[in-house]
Amino acid sequence: MGSFPAVAVICGGSHPLAVNRALHSWLRDCRARKLCLVGIASGIFSIAQTGLADGRRCAVHWEQFPSFVEQFPGVAAVQSAFEIDGDTYSCSGGDAAFDMFVQFVLEDFDSLIASRVCEKAAAMRIRQPGDRQRLPLHAGAAIHHDGLLKIIEQMEMHLDEPVALEAMAAASHLSRRQVERIFSKQIGRSPARYYLEMRLERAHLLIANSQLPIVEIAMACGFVSASHFAKAYRENYGMTPSEARSEAIERRRNGPATWPVQHITQSGHTAVRLRKHAQSA
């Protein structure tokens, strides 16, 4: 780590990198030398650990987002594909890294060169800074109803203190009945069920990726009591919050020795369990 590049890129994955003081010192030196810092996927954790991302708008993968905002409240974390805030670049991983790379091409060359890069990569659409990663619980859904998207955004912003459907509908200039019809047609479930599953998903990610007590997680996700939370969680994931945390700990301990396997609960929703790799014959 003795030399300094034009850009310092920290690549991560599905889990944050271990704290590395030598890396942190090198990143601080890079910033002192006015170099751009780039965090890909969980690589943004390493930059945030140094304090260099404080006050910056940073893209964080949706699975890592709940634990990131708990650990780094001074960072303006968002669930977008990628972000550029001054000399700090961040992306959620996957193909968002390519989208961010194209921005470097645009800055260093021009739109013609960037277009040729996209053609070579067979990239049909390049996302812009701030474009969202996905729609919660519906990553593949193509939803174009502006009112529906506004309500989903309101739900995302108020997971800790759920907002009444009437208030969200009024803010989108829709009636409650209209919202219910739109949700049923485009998402296949009621607004209340969708909102509940969003809160449960946030809780599930916090259970798996943070050390917050389960009671605090319940409150942070808008549940008025631990018993109500445990009941809803079990119905949706087929296990108790405590069982989910134990399995997450086992997965981190065993690493590649386990993989997630989906089970469908009696209520028809997807649960995640871990299964050991089959031993070779």
Phi, psi (deg, nearest 5) at residue 191: -60, -40
**Domain-wise residue ranges, the chain:** 7-120, 146-276
Does 146-276 match 7-120 at the fold level? no
Over the range 160-173, which residues count as b (16 or more CB within 10 Å of their CB) and which as e?
A: eebbebeebbeebe
What is the pLDDT of the chain when averaged over all its residues?
82
Model confidence at 141: pLDDT above 60: no
- Helix (H) or strand (E) holding 227, with range, is helix 226-237
| Helices 191-209, 146-157: crossing angle, 10 deg rounding | 40
d(CA 10, CA 55) in angstroms, rounded, equals 19
* CATH architecture of structural domain 7-120: 3-Layer(aba) Sandwich (3.40)
The whole model's pTM is what?
0.62
Q: Which residues of 201-233 are buried (b: 16+ CB within 10 A; e: fewer)?
A: bbbbbbbbbbebebeebbbbbbbeebeebbebb
pLDDT for 200-213, tens place per residue? 998 998 998 888 89
Residue 62: what pLDDT? 86
User: pLDDT tier at 231 (50, 70, 90 boundaries)?
Assistant: very high
Q: Kindly state which CATH superfamily the domain 146-276 is placed in.
A: Homeodomain-like (1.10.10.60)
